[in-house]
A and B are shown apart, each in its own frame.
Chain A
Amino acid sequence: MAKKVPLQITLNGEERAEFVESGSTLLTALRDRFDDTSPKGGCNQGTCGACTVIIDGELRLACLTLAEMCDGASVQTTSGMAKGGVLHPLQRAFMEGFAAQCGFCTPGMIMAAKALLDRVPNPSRDEVIEALAGNICRCTGYEPIINAVLEAARANSHNAA
């Protein structure tokens, strides 16, 4: 039996601790131990982006990140985006802009988009495309997703003004 190691993280602002198998990925740890199934396992080899999360403010692929290396880190996932039942502007824009079809890539897309908007509040279209380049969607053809991110940025700046 694989050795279990303690893992303490701040998950979407909440202090959490669980034992995980030594050598397991953050993706497995989040899904199987922390009951957060919002990051998806699409390829488990770092090519599809479905497992995208934000670790200490940086965009990361949970399937390529060793769980043990995240001890003490702050981890953000899509399941923590809505606050008090109010959707994040990105979530609203994805919902209203038909940017999710099967929905499997959506949590990763939203994380990649959030990492961009946290850094660049008013990105150009090219910057959005660049930011989503690591996330594969097989349904939408990307256009509604790109438009939704731009729409969320507009909504954000409108609220800030």
Chain B
Amino acid sequence: MIRLAKEYFADQRKDDLHELGKGLQRSDAPGHVTAKTKYFADRTFPGMLYLKMVRSPHHHARIRSIDTSEAEKHPGVARVLTHKDVPHNVYTILILIQVGPEDEQVLAEDKVRWKGEAVVAVLADSPRAAEEAAAMVKVDYEVLPAVFDIDAALKPDAPLVNEYHGQNYYLYDSGECRKVRFGDVEKGFAESDHILEQTYWSSPIEHAPAETTGCIVVPEGNDRFTCYTNTQAMFFTLDNTSIILQMPGQKLHMVGGTVGGGFGGKVDVTVEPISILASKLTGRPVRFVYSREEEMQISSPRAAEKIVLKDGVTKDGRILARQVWGYTDAGAYSRHSPYGAQKGAAHYPGPYTIPNVSIDTYCVYTNRTPSSAMRGFGVTIADFALEVQMDKLARLIGMDPLEFRFLNAYRDGDMKAHRQPTEGAALIECMQEASRTADWPVAERFFKMSSYKTEA
């Protein structure tokens, strides 16, 4: 059961938090239990076309030629789209906040960089006709050497994944990585009694929402397009579609907000631009919904990460220095990964006050499915690594792991390595409650500590 301890920080608050602890029914629950909630796919329109994507069977290949002539002749096919049909074919989602360069093709032109990359879009009267015609598209590939992990991608002689970057990592304004420098780590290591360096790896994780990614687009009489979508990012979708289709935003009417599970997996802009383009070029409603297989293989997962943590610790339990090399496997394209890697740079000290910190985080390109947002991307795996590291450090000096965390916990007023002063920390209090609840006793002096008072 949840217990709300309102006595904590009571003297810092004007509000009595009277709303907390009361059950409140979700406003969407009546629709869910009666099945009246309308998801994007709960619609059908007369004359609707079904979009089937022809995808790359190779991890890395040059495209010699694309032949759609047979597919175009197949009964029921209304239109076949290639890169030539896309007004602004090379894009990147975060260009909206000036995180470039544009590095990803809506439909592949000269090269594919991951197995599953979109090459040709087939539109037909029925899903079956679309699938049959998609199988008739002939793409001639010259297979290229591919790289599948961070270490291989960063070798000097590694195949180049993405020409728009020119090297297999994202170039930040700070150089080949995002950097945080605080104090003097070398001095900190020199003053430490023990140094522990560990490497942590993680694999990609698929969100696997119950409802797969998709949209339905309807051309309206007023020259606008209504797009029913399950995107988690309506304005990313609107603005990126506007760029890709070179179409003013007022012509695009995005209808959404009802998402059958997302967890970050529906933040990329993948189905809407091509579907709106198809609707524009055919004048008909268009439906593009990922199959379950596509959801598992094509939609972006959480990034694989490699994290090297090096800590200097005194025998009485203070971390004096932390050096971090963090690597995010973006897959073939940026999407949200340059931002994810940057978040990690701010996060690696964790909720601990460490006087000497050096952090380098890299966003690395490989020939894997582009990774992107998922529940705290950039920091969740970092937390896994750094908390395992905390346990190992405690063991190294023979200290209780919870007491070790009390000693190093950040408190209000402490300066974090990335120059944000700590405010509203409640770590000490959370650990005090955790100690009681989990019956993991710690020395009495740790119960006298506070996140915002300076004693102890």
Count chain A CB atoms within 10 A of each CB in B35, B126, B208, B260 and give the residue with the most.
B35
Residues from 8 to 22 in B contacting A, C-beta threshold 8 Å: none
Pick from B33, B38, B207, B263: contact of A94, CB below 8 A. Answer: B33
Query: Separation in Å of the A26 CB from the closest CB of chain B?
Result: 16
Q: How far is the CA of A43 from the CA of B212 in the complex (A)?
A: 8
CB-defined contacts of B438 to chain A, threshold 8 Å? none
Count chain A CB atoms within 10 A of each CB in B28, B39, B261 and give the residue with the most.
B261
Assess whether A2 is interfacial by the CB under 8 Å rule: yes
Interface residues of chain B, those whose CB is within 8 Å of chain A, are 25-26, 28-39, 41-42, 44, 126, 128, 207-212, 259-263, 291-292
CB-defined contacts of B42 to chain A, threshold 8 Å? 31, 37
Query: Separation in Å of the A134 CB from the closest CB of chain B?
Result: 13
Q: How far is the CA of A41 from the CA of B287 in the complex (A)?
A: 14
Assess whether A76 is interfacial by the CB under 8 Å rule: no
The answer to whether A2 touches B126, judged by C-beta atoms less than 8 angstroms apart, is: yes
Report if A82-B34 is in contact (Cβ < 8 Å); known contacts: A102-B259, A104-B39: yes
Assess whether A98 is interfacial by the CB under 8 Å rule: yes
Pick from A45, A78, A90, A138: contact of B261, CB below 8 A. Answer: A138
Report if A32-B33 is in contact (Cβ < 8 Å); known contacts: A2-B126, A42-B292, A102-B209: no
Interface residues of chain A, those whose CB is within 8 Å of chain B, are 2, 31-32, 37-38, 40-45, 47-48, 50, 77-79, 81-82, 87, 90-92, 94-96, 98, 100-107, 110, 136-139
Q: How far is the CA of A92 from the CA of B37 in the complex (A)?
A: 16
Report if A102-B211 is in contact (Cβ < 8 Å); known contacts: A40-B39, A82-B34: yes
Report if A87-B44 is in contact (Cβ < 8 Å); known contacts: A102-B259, A104-B261, A138-B210: no
CB-defined contacts of B128 to chain A, threshold 8 Å? 2
Chain B interface main SS type? loop
Pick from B25, B35, B259: contact of A107, CB below 8 A. Answer: B35
Count chain A CB atoms within 10 A of each CB in B25, B33, B259, B260 and give the residue with the most.
B33
The answer to whether B210 touches A136, judged by C-beta atoms less than 8 angstroms apart, is: yes
The answer to whether A95 touches B33, judged by C-beta atoms less than 8 angstroms apart, is: yes
CB-defined contacts of B212 to chain A, threshold 8 Å? 42
The answer to whether A103 touches B25, judged by C-beta atoms less than 8 angstroms apart, is: no
CB-defined contacts of A32 to chain B, threshold 8 Å? 44
Enumerate the 9 nearest inter-chain pairs by beta-carbon distance, A residue then B residue, closest first.
A103-B32, A104-B260, A38-B35, A37-B42, A100-B32, A91-B33, A43-B292, A104-B210, A78-B35
Pick from A44, A104, A105: contact of B292, CB below 8 A. Answer: A44
Report if A87-B210 is in contact (Cβ < 8 Å); known contacts: A44-B292, A139-B261: no
- Closest B residue by C-beta to A88: B33
Q: How far is the CA of A122 from the CA of B260 in the complex (A)?
A: 31
11 A-B residue pairs with Cβ-Cβ distance under 8 Å, sorted by A, are A42-B211, A47-B292, A50-B211, A78-B35, A79-B35, A98-B29, A102-B262, A103-B260, A104-B211, A104-B261, A138-B261
Report if A105-B210 is in contact (Cβ < 8 Å); known contacts: A31-B42, A110-B33: yes
The answer to whether B41 touches A41, judged by C-beta atoms less than 8 angstroms apart, is: yes
Pick from A31, A50, A110: contact of B210, CB below 8 A. Answer: A50
Q: How far is the CA of A94 from the CA of B33 in the complex (A)?
A: 7
Q: How far is the CA of A32 from the CA of B43 in the complex (A)?
A: 8
The answer to whether B263 touches A138, judged by C-beta atoms less than 8 angstroms apart, is: yes
Q: How far is the CA of A70 from the CA of B19 in the complex (A)?
A: 51
Q: How far is the CA of A81 from the CA of B35 in the complex (A)?
A: 10
Q: How far is the CA of A102 from the CA of B230 in the complex (A)?
A: 11
The answer to whether A106 touches B33, judged by C-beta atoms less than 8 angstroms apart, is: yes
Q: How far is the CA of A94 from the CA of B28 in the complex (A)?
A: 12
Pick from B34, B35, B260, B291: contact of A102, CB below 8 A. Answer: B260
